[in-house]
Amino acid sequence: MIEAQNLVKRFRGKKRGMVSAVNGVSFSCRPGEIYGLLGANGAGKTTTLRMLATILEPTEGTAVVAGYDVIKEPQKVRSRVGFLSTATALYGRLSAQEMVEYFGRLHGLDETSLHRRIDAIFERLEMNEFRDRRCDKLSTGMKQKVSIARTLVHDPSVMIFDEPTVGLDVMAARTIARFIAECRDQGKTVIFSTHVMSEVEKLCDHIGIIHGGRLMAEGTLADLRQRFQMQDLEDIFVKVVEP
C-alpha cells in the first residue's frame, strides 16, 4: 500500500532560488494495483517516486509505504520496496550474481535463503547463462534483467518504477512491461512513472496526471475518459496540462 499525503519537495536552485519540484501531491495505491504517474519531463514524477523510495526526504507532507512512514522509518520502507529506474545503474565490475547477492545481503538475507532466492530469480528470468559475467559486459536487455533481479531479491511488497523503459528497445521494454504486470498479479503494490501513453493504457489500473509538481487529474482510464469526454489518453493529457 502507498499513501502519499500532500507531498512537497523544494530544492534550492543556483539561479532560480527555491524551486518547488513537487507541490502537494496526494494519492493512494493499493496492493494488486498498478498506479501510473503520467507527466512530461520535469513534471515532478521522479522527485515524487524518489520521496516514496526514501531517496529524498519530503520538505512537507509525508507518505506511508508498506505500512511505514517515509520520514520516520525510511530504512523499514526501503527494505520493503523495490525501486527501479534508468538512473539505478549496475556496478560494472561486479558479476550479475555478485550484484544481486550484494543487495540481498544488504536486505539482511542469510546466505542460504539468499542463494535459494537468487537461483529461483535467475531461473525465472533466464539469467543463468550470464550469471558470472561482469555487468559492464552485458547487453542492455541482460542489464535490465539484472536490475529486475536486484529489485526482487528481497521479495518487496511495493514496487516503484521510474520511467523504466526509457532508452530501451522494443524487446527490452516488453520484458519490463511484462514484469510490471507480473508484480501486480502477485499482489504487489506497483507505481510507475512514464510519459509513454500506450504503456499507461496497457498496464495501469489508476492514472495520475502530474504537471508542474501538482497532481492535475486522477482516476481509472474509464473515469478520465468519461470526465473529459475523450477516448484518446494523449488528448486527455494535453487537455489537463494545457492552461
Partner 1 sequence: MSLRNIGIVYRKELVDSLRDRRTVISMVAVPLLLMPLLTIGVGAVLVRQVGQAMEEVPRVMILGGQDSPNIRAELEKLKAVRIVPEKPDYAEEISNKQIRAAVEIPGGFDSKLAAGDAMTVKIYMYEGEMKSGFGADRLQKFFRDLRDRTVKESLQARQLPESLIRPFDIRQQNVAPAEKVGGAVLGGIVPYFVILLCLTGAMYPAMDLTAGEKERGTIETILCSPVSRTHLVLGKFLMVLTASIATAVLSLASMSASFGLGKKLLLGVAHGAADSAMQITISAKGIASIFFVVLPLAVFFSAALLAISLFAKSFKEAQSYLSPLMIIVVLPAVAALLPGVELNTALALVPVLNTSLVSKEIMTGTYHWNFIALIFVSSSVYAAIALAIAVKLFQREDVLFRT
Q: Write out the residues near partner 1 by the rule CB under 8 A.
A: 11-12, 53-57, 75-76, 78-79, 81, 83, 85, 87-94, 98, 102-103, 105-108, 150
Q: How far is the CB of 102 from partner 1 (least distance, A)?
A: 5
Closer to partner 1 by Cβ: residue 66 or 233 = 66
Cell reading at 79 = 527494505
What are the backbone dihedrals phi and psi of residue 228, each rounded to the nearest 5 degrees, phi first? -100, 0
Q: How far is the CB of 98 from partner 1 (least distance, A)?
A: 7
Q: How far is the CB of 19 from partner 1 (least distance, A)?
A: 12
Closer to partner 1 by Cβ: residue 19 or 238 = 19
Distance between CA 35 and CA 215 in Å, rounded?
13
Closer to partner 1 by Cβ: residue 11 or 228 = 11
Q: For residue 107, what are the contacts with CB-CB under 8 A and spacing of at least 6?
A: 79, 153, 154
Helix, strand or coil for residue 205?
coil
The burial of 8, by beta-carbon neighbours within 10 Å (0-12 exposed, 13-18 middle, 19 or more buried), is given as middle
Q: How far is the CB of 15 from partner 1 (least distance, A)?
A: 12
What are the backbone dihedrals phi and psi of residue 70, each rounded to the nearest 5 degrees, phi first? -65, -25
Q: How far is the CB of 79 from partner 1 (least distance, A)?
A: 4
Closer to partner 1 by Cβ: residue 106 or 238 = 106
Q: List strands edge to edge, sheet with 2-13.
A: 17-29, 2-13, 60-65, 68-69
Closer to partner 1 by Cβ: residue 12 or 16 = 12
